[in-house]
Chains A and B, each alone.
Chain A
Amino acid sequence: MNETMDRPLFIITNLLAVTGVIMIYSATRNAADVATSQYILQSIWFGVGLAVMYTTYLLPLRFIQAITVPAFIVVIILLIAVLATSSVKGSSRWIRFGAIGIQPSELAKIAVILVLAQYLEQPKRNIRKPMVLTTACLIVALPVALILKQPDLGTSLVFGAILCGMLLWAGLSFLELVLFVSPVIGVLIAVISGFNWMVWTIFMLSVIGIIYYKRPPMPLIGVLICIHIGVGITAEPLWNTLHDYQRQRVETFLNPQADALGSGYQIIQSQIAIGSGGIFGRGLLQGSQTQLAFLPEQQTDFIFSVIGEELGFIGSLSILILFYVLIIRGIIIAINVKGRFQSLIAAGCVSVFSFHVIMNVGMTIGLLPVAGVPLPFLSYGGSFLLTSMILSGLLLNAWRHRFEY
């Protein structure tokens, strides 16, 4: 138990990233219009990521604690810079440093985890106090608001997962978490049901039921009730002030089948690709769906369908098992490290990985809506690969400092 390096985690990270490079090669080798081969770029990012991951692993605990707030501020500035530079020409998520493009929204995931961990670490911050909850929400809301403006809904949702995961880890129980996110659920229910008062009333009754059962502190009940009543009253008028295209966007997100030519097409193609892979797959570079590039941008969000087609059930199962072990290792680290700060960081990393893997795989096999959430380590994209490897590095770091406070 005195090993400083968590070998399984380290090995899984590398295995996944190398698989990613291979699958990206397979998915893009027929794309004539790509200037520099994407698998080469991904390999370079992997090399850089490896170095950064190892550096992160070696960082002293005090150093990490010292840079949380500065890192957060830098990320916020970068996010504002993205908005400022993109306002000229359509939406953009990139900021360029010479030849390298970086997505600050990816780095924001790390910064938010660090800042939240530092904020929630202190014992005086009782998670059940409305002030503490509100502050935690605001920390997340700031980057989310900037990212939503880009607009990038998929990435924004990840922050919801980070917040939920870390609040849970900071001591909120599952039912309390449900209460906590109930206003959001309320809005979704209202929109989906077409502002049917009956449906909303039933939902409110169940919320009240949970409150009665859990009996949270009075101030919290007050805040919750106020938020719910506020949301209930303002949801419909606010919805009606949205532009048609904005409403359309939300509706497409909630019901992608309605947009059959866009994301619906991708889902069908993705399912055919995965299904035709069978048990053993069609072999590397042999998948007709992949090689014909039926899926637009299959090397990014739909890389899992490439794996499914070319490597079959064996391949996709192996990948899922690798992810499962990664996440479980993360949870074990979160449980076993002594310091609350490291533990919270580990919980944040686990949240990001779990959310990304479940959303992405769920999307490719038609269980969840298409939200533009890439698969960690495997999807093409330097910023996200780097971020994922830094998150692995943070997990490794937490394990290394598991006896420190």
Chain B
Amino acid sequence: MTDKYAFFLGCIAPLRYPGIEKATREVFKSLDVELVDLEGAGCCPAPGVIRSFDQTTWLTLAARNLALAERKGLDILTICNGCFGSLFDAAHLLHEHPEMVKEVNKILKEVGLEYTGGKIKVRHFADVLHKDVGIDKIKSKVVQPLDYKVAVHYGCHFAKPSKIKQLDDPERPTILDELVEAVGAKSVNYRDKGMCCGAGGGLRTRANDIAMKMTEEKLGNVKKSGARFIIDVCPFCHLQYDRTQKDIPGYDIPIIHLSQLYGLAFGLPKEYLGLEAHVVPVNL
């Protein structure tokens, strides 16, 4: 098992929900996994929006982030489905198309970098927890079992497109359910559990009213399930659920990123979780 990763921060976690960053740093420390800062990394860049504008720019900037990790010789650990999707898909595309590697490297050469490919992997932190750390070790670190009924939200770019990700069943995934149950929570079933939060692909930015309708549909299904919290693994979904609820009457379902949930279960001080950044108060 790799016990050292290049920690890829992305945008939303460090800049809007820094408690997610802090919790991740602390949780992995307690699991004896070292996270090394990936100095100078930027936006992944966003898979649905920046890639929609210009694929060459998207791919080159992603390759720059990948090249920075290659230089450290470390696999990348992401805490966001968007970052995971972008960097994973970019690495895959480059692997399949050597001619694109050439094009990208022509540009990266101008900034003193080169992407080789095949040296490092792009990982999602939930997958690392599940596959590498393992449920048993996680259970051994729990000091405060969290006996909550929760609704997990997988988000889109975690397991999809499954053809290349091959992480979990795209229609009936189980990784997150197992991960929340490892700390004592009960993962409920709800209608359209696998559906999108509505924010992706530039929809939140361009047509927020429509993004919100999708979010409301999901929130309605979660509410009917009786879950007390939504557990996510993507700061953008997290932001969409958290900030949208103030504009939708009748909802106040707190959102907790898996890293924050683990922080709680592992007995971290509540102040480490940055819950004051949440619009919907998280009362534990």
Co-complex (A, B): no
